[in-house]
Structure 1
């Protein structure tokens, strides 16, 4: 055995390594296999060179020969992990094996998905290949189409995958930004920097494409016909889960599923769990669209109280005032127009609305022509403040 005869092991390995370095892959194949089998712990280089050889041989292999080489490649990766665990990323090995099986149609879709799932969960930070990210998601969608996974599983993985893609895009953009600034300043990039910039742009393009492919794969599964029954089914169980409510509300809104009662239920539950000026405003708009004016006004007032941005607060007051004005309640309308002006004194529309309301109610104010005319003077005063 070569393991016992270290000189023979070293000699055969050296010759095989020389052939592999010189890309004489067919000549290096058998000696490398012998070194791997008979003295596997001799050097990590054995596995690294043999990986190159097998990938080369796989390029032109067909039929039974190809299947044999695939099995040898999988075995090689597992043995490297076994003999050199401190120099091998287990999750990356799982990802490589998963891709090899997927690319060559080995095993069922369930087994292929499980392999990608284990690789991703084992090391999300090393799961960065756009092709593998798409394969991972695509397999789950296929399994859901076959009735072997729930639609909720698809949505959860979709959110995870899109988050992963955007995270990788942000990393690349941050790395690329100073290089672009350097170029724009007229400074020539070094060869290494130019290569980094080129690779970053290629990868950004690849992530953009895979994001489009993932969205296309999700397709009509994310339409109202699927979303509404799904969220109706899970609402009672999930109505206390803020993250679930956020995602459900956003997805229903993006797909214009806002007319179904489930959207109001989800939005209302989210507002109770995590109240904000924006959520209160949105609930007010929903209630107003349904003709529930008193409920709408309750939410609008809550939105105004929660709002911290002066401009947005003024806009809420304007909406409340407009509703009162349109309903003929000029007194309340003026009160809220004034609140809008207190928040944003340059709001010309508020002055004009107050002026118009005074003008409309002139005949109802005062007991004599002088008093009635005084109301017009007051209206003119408000109108003049616009300029």
Structure 2
């Protein structure tokens, strides 16, 4: 009896192994043909065998999921009604299965974000459910939640829910802070890679094909993030105006004046929107500095000193704030304020030092480049040894202005106008020919202390 049982079990196991081997062999053959069809864009032919390979041999190859993604997107372009709904469900299942079977080669944030976007774009579920899907994706894998469209949809849905009375204004502000912070992180990373390549170009050194591709892709992505930031700020609209913020924080101050987190958020929003002249900003800043002295509280006290015309006291607080600040974007913003103060006083060398510090903290801070360009242009008559060299200063100003538009596409319009204006004041072809300085390098003196190359004719 025992021998019979063992023999039967052995035959079953052997049969199971044989079936598995047969399935694998069948999947290999079917996958090879389906992959060829998908590569050749014969998507209708590839669809059924790819689905069979996914079901029978899900761990065979990541390529199965990649090709199916293309096929389903193609089919969804022309599908309508129930057919499209079914394809969307297949796509969602495909993404979840890819995460299940290839977790090490799949970003959880990308998958959850893509599923949320699919639901959003196709009106699947309520706005609350769509927002919850984006919220879960963002919180599950913030580092990989990078899609500009997804970040906009995430914020836009919350604003709609607030308009319907289902979310509070505080919820909107909290989400806005998170989304803008994420966008700026991505911008900074792109600009950090782009800046040395722009400097290399400006120095007249040819870029490799790989570097040219990196420049092109970085500028495309920077432009996308810039456009999304503009759309998000437009969506926020008047909700963040002083007329709405000041009454809100006045109403809640007594109840929340010992809540450090609330004080920080309230002060930050009033500061960003320049709602610093109302007494509530002074009350918030003092309460925050008393409860927890920090980079932010020092910044707000600096702004208060600025508003009162006490420049020396403002600089003291701003420098304290910059030294304490750990957030790159916020550190850059403080350095910009310090630089602006020095620029107003005509201390261009000091101002440039702090504009460069702002750029070191946040490479996408294009306004710093514009301000340096403006100071250089203002100094044209003071920083050259002769008439030609004085006008040559404008070429350097144009270089800085051009860089501003490339690291921050939202400034491309004003940067372009500045470049054209500066180049119009620089020596023209006839001047270069007459001076015999084509291709030469000119050292600019005074506070500028840089070299500019005369263009070729």
Under a length normalisation based on structure 1, what TM-score does the superposition of the two structures give? 0.69
CA deviation profile, 1:117-151 (whole Å, cap 9, x unmatched): 11111111111111111111101101111111111
Equivalent residue for 2:285, pick from 267, 285, 291: 267
Determine the structure 2 residue equivalent to 1:95: 113
Deviation of 1:303 (Å): 5.3
**Residue 82 and residue 140 in structure 1: after superposition, are their counterparts in 2 closer, same or farther (change >3 A)?**
same
Distance 1:13 1:258, change over 3 A: closer
User: Taking structure 1 as reference, are residues 261 and 9 closer, same or farther at Cα in structure 2, changes over 3 Å only?
Assistant: same
Task: Please say if 1:177 is aligned against 2:195.
Answer: yes
Please report how far the alpha carbon of residue 156 of structure 1 lies from its aligned counterpart in structure 2 after TM superposition: 0.8
Residues 316-335 of structure 1: pairs in structure 2 closer than 5 A: none
In the alignment, which residue of structure 2 is the partner of 1:125? 143
- In 2, distance between residues paired with 1:227 and 1:216? 17
Q: Check the 8 A contact 1:278/1:303 in 2, yes or no.
A: no
| Residue 59 (structure 2) pairs with residue 41 (structure 1) | yes
State the Cα distance separating 1:173 from its structure 2 match.
0.7
How much has 1:103 moved relative to structure 2?
A: 1.3
- State how far apart, in whole Å, the 2-side matches of 1:277 and 1:78 are: 47
SS at 1:113's partner residue?
A: helix
- The question of 1:137 aligning with 2:188 is answered no
Question: Partners of 2:235 and 2:318 in 1: how far apart?
Answer: 41
Aligned counterparts of 1:279 and 1:248: Cα–Cα separation in 2: 11
Residue in 1 aligned with 2:98? 80
Kindly tell me: are residues 259 and 89 of structure 1, through their superposed partners in 2, closer, same or farther at Cα, counting changes over 3 Å? Answer: closer
Distance 2:192 2:305 in 1: 40
Give the 3 Å change call, closer, same or farther, for CA 193–258 of structure 1 in structure 2.
closer
Alignment of 1:247-266 (within 5 A): 247-255=265-273, 257-258=275-276, 260-266=278-284
Judge conservation of contact 2:267–2:300 (CA < 8 Å) in 1.
no
Residues paired across the two proteins, number: 299
Give 1:239 deviation, angstroms: 2.5
Give 1:242 shift. Answer: 4.3
Looking at structure 1, the residues matched to 317 and 100 of structure 2 have their Cα atoms a distance apart, in angstroms, of: 59
Indicate the residue corresponding to 1:63 in structure 2: 81
Q: 1:29 aligns with which of 47, 50, 56?
A: 47
Q: Which structure is richer in relative contact order (CA contacts within 8 A, separation 6 or more)?
A: 2
CA distance in 1, matches of 2:266, 2:153: 25
Asked whether the 8 Å contact 1:3–1:39 carries over to 2, the reply is no
User: What is the match of residue 192 of structure 1?
Assistant: 210
Shift of residue 39, structure 1, vs aligned partner:
2.3
Gaps of 5+ in 1: 290-299, 316-387
Matched, 1:105 2:123: yes
CA distance in 1, matches of 2:305, 2:60: 72
* Displacement after TM superposition at 1:259 (Å): 5.9
Equivalent residue for 2:221? 203
Poorly superposed stretches of 4+, deviation over 4 Å? 1-4, 253-261, 275-286, 306-309
SS for the counterpart of 2:44 is: helix
Q: Which moved more, 1:121-130 or 1:255-264?
A: 255-264
Contact 2:31 2:53 in 1 (8 A): yes
Are 1:214 and 2:220 counterparts? no
- Please provide the CA RMSD for this pair: 3.1
Give the alignment partner of residue 68 of structure 2, picking from 27, 34, 50.
Answer: 50
Change (3 A) 1:3 1:30: farther
Q: Distance in 2 between matches of 1:285 and 1:79?
A: 57
Paired position in structure 1 for 2:186: 168
What secondary structure is seen at the aligned counterpart in 1 of 2:233?
helix
In the alignment, structure 1 residue 157 sits paired with structure 2 residue 175: yes
CA drift of 1:215 comes to 0.7
Structure 1 SS opposite 2:146:
coil
